[in-house]
Amino acid sequence: MKKPKSLRQERILTELTQAPSLRVAELARRLDVSTETIRRDLDELTGQGLLNRTYGGAVRSLSTEPSVTERHMLFVAERERIARAAVQILKGARVLMIGSGATTVHTARRIAVEMKDITVLTHSFGVATVLAINPTIKVIMLPGDYHATEGATVGAHAVTFLHGFNADVAVLGASGLGSDGPSDALIECGAVYSTMMARSARTLVVADHSKHDRLFPARYAPWGAISDLVTDAAPVAPLRDRLIANAVTVTLA
């Protein structure tokens, strides 16, 4: 069970995804704690690189994202539910391409438990590591330049390598889910995701509610190219309307 501080700090990060900035007094009111408690939380989250302190409050940049190691500590229960729901959609697939990210690692861990005799192409070392517990899963690692904060290979070699394969489903995460499509904080990863989609018959995006209505530099696809979205909370307009208009199947975990 999560400690109250962990839950409170997750709530602070969630609040900051829904507003460009928030004052200490407003956060204290919303979370029903003292301003001193909020200041300590903001100092800790700033030290972890998850937000930036301002005079009397905090902001969270829309163009950056914490490292994948830091993201693994956030929304764990939500991502586990997303992973369980995603695997049900993947049943029957024989070849998968899986992108990097915290939620895709959770999904890969669930794949390792529930699926067998499949082939997975990935550029994520985290994904490859959790799949290794299942000896019936063949893992093919993409070559390329190692991106340390994402724990994944990127670049021209990774993209070129993918063109030699086809897959049933591409399983991708996202830094943000905007009205015009999913986007990523890392332009290099966005290029890999776009190529995985092009080489796959279907694309499944897995992303928790903190990604809703957020925009990042690399939009790697329009919603019309996405088959399925698995998330843990119902999107609201305008994102909801765009998903409906593009016939994206939304599964709530």
Give the architecture-level CATH label for domain 71-252.
Answer: 3-Layer(aba) Sandwich (3.40)
Top CATH class of 4-61 equals mainly alpha
Question: Which amino acid, 73?
Answer: M
Predicted pLDDT at 23: 87
Using one digit for the tens of pLDDT, what is the confidence trace for 119-164?
999 999 999 999 999 999 999 999 999 998 899 999 999 999 999 9
Within 10 angstroms of residue 237's Cβ, the number of other Cβ atoms is 10
Q: Across the strands, what pairs with 242?
A: none
Q: Per-residue pLDDT tens for 6-60?
A: 888 888 877 776 665 788 998 999 999 999 999 998 888 887 767 777 777 887 6
Q: Tell the residue number behind the tokens 């990042």, with chain if given.
A: 216
**DSSP assignment, residue 212?**
B
CA distance 55 to 99: 38
Q: What residue ranges of the chain are covered by domains with CATH 1.10.10.10?
A: 4-61
Domain limits, CATH 3.40.50.1360, in the chain: 71-252
| Spatial distance between the Cα atoms of 153 and 122, rounded to a whole number of angstroms | 9
- In this prediction, residue 221 carries a pLDDT of 97
